[in-house]
Structure 1
Amino acid sequence: METSKAEGKRIAKVAMLAEEEEGGKDEDVKNKKRASTLTLIRVSSAGGSTQPYCQVQDCPVDMTGAKPYHRRHKVCEFHAKAPEILVAGLQQRFCQQCSRFHEVSEFDGAKRSCRGRLAKHNERRRKGSNDSL
């Protein structure tokens, strides 16, 4: 099985750290703890991609074929556009500006951006138009 150059280096580092841990009987206990911690960090950071899933509880949608936006924000297209969703006993809606769920009361009408983010957006827009006058 072929490994990439970076993967080979990572494996070599892990093996080297494991040897240091085993062979250093006369080493200070502190160094042993550090080496074993480094080994755990390196092994756990190998990283594989996890299956994309919708963050709404009990949502069965498989997001492997979803648009990049929906995979990035971990929300399926249905829940991103839904006017109301029951989450943790509260009626919530997905905010396109924050990429988070907020209570429906934080939105004006059927808008998909919360009032807080819209206010900040409008403030920045007005600030820019005053400079040009």
Structure 2
Amino acid sequence: KIQPYFKRHLVCQSHAVSAAVLIDNVEMRFCQQCAKFERLAAFDGGNRYAKEKV
């Protein structure tokens, strides 16, 4: 069963918690702050939120 958070943001749990995913040949990570994929360079280490958004 899909958890409400992942269903609401239209992302599967495995991609939401991955350290990086490849989208259009760009490494990205799911930002929990803005609930969308951001470029990996926008994150500080293993954080789950983009540093520009904080």
Fold-level match, TM-score > 0.5?
Answer: yes
CA distance in structure 1 between the partners assigned to 2:53 and 2:14 by the alignment: 22
1:1-133 correspondence runs (5 A): 65-118=1-54
Which of the two has greater helix per residue? 1
Instruction: Give the TM-score of the pair, scaled to structure 2.
Output: 0.96
CA distance in structure 1 between the partners assigned to 2:53 and 2:39 by the alignment: 14
State the AA in 2 paired with 1:68: P
Aligned equivalent of 1:23: none
State the AA in 1 paired with 2:9: H
CA distance in structure 1 between the partners assigned to 2:26 and 2:52 by the alignment: 19
If you compute each CA radius of gyration, which structure gives the higher value, 1 or 2? 1
Query: Could you list the runs of 4 or more consecutive aligned residues of structure 1 that deviate by over 3 angstroms after TM superposition?
Result: none
Unaligned runs of 5+ in 2: none
- Structure 1 residues 67-103: Cα deviation after superposition (integer angstroms, max 9, x where no partner): 0000000011110000000001100000000100011
CA distance in structure 2 between the partners assigned to 1:117 and 1:106 by the alignment: 9
Instruction: Give the TM-score of the pair, scaled to structure 1.
Output: 0.40
Which of the two has greater strand per residue? 2
The number of residues matched between the two structures is 54
Instruction: Note the aligned Cα RMSD (angstroms).
Output: 0.6
